[in-house]
Amino acid sequence: MAFRPLTARAPSVLLREAKPLKAIFGHAQRLGHLQRLLETQLQPAAREHCHVASWREGNLLLIVTDGHWATRLRYQQKRLQRQLMAFDEFASLTRIQFKVQPPTVQQGAVGHTINLSVNAAETIQATADGISDPGLRAALERLAAHAKPKP
């Protein structure tokens, strides 16, 4: 008896039919909706630093990227709670909790800036003019373009 693999199904079909996936997808959609409602009440600068983690039995758990934003949001907690309670989804809101959780992925590493003198740039450009390989020549010209402009 040979093993016969199951036929592949489209992801949209799996999300509609597979019960565990359907529950996870529904929960994710609900949290996304709550996040959009929360963002309407937050200051524009705070929106990227605050995310809905859970909403259960009147308790709203918000994940904040650092202590600075957690402190700022705690000062605004009463106002935020009043505004959120105006939405039907948050009508039973009794408590907002803030948890600090730094992002796991670095937000773009700070790269080394190139400080190139005008003399060095001219030397690199002169070298590039004498190169026949187009790739190397283009790379040297890009490097020479990083020179500090003359004051």
Mean pLDDT value of segment 60-77 = 94
Please, which pLDDT band fits residue 1 given cuts at 50, 70 and 90? low
Least trusted range by pLDDT, from 31-40, 51-60, 69-78, 111-120: 111-120
Domains and CATH numbers, the chain: 11-98 (3.30.300.180), 114-150 (no CATH)
State the Cα torsion 32-37-40-41 to the nearest 10°: -120
DSSP strands (E only) in 8-126: 50-56, 59-64, 95-100
Which pLDDT tens digit goes with each residue over 93-142?
Answer: 999 999 999 888 665 556 666 677 888 888 888 998 988 888 888 988 88
Residues in the chain: 151
pLDDT beyond 90 at 87: yes
What residues have CB less than 8 Å from 20, skipping those under 6 apart? none
pLDDT band for position 91 (cuts 50, 70, 90): very high
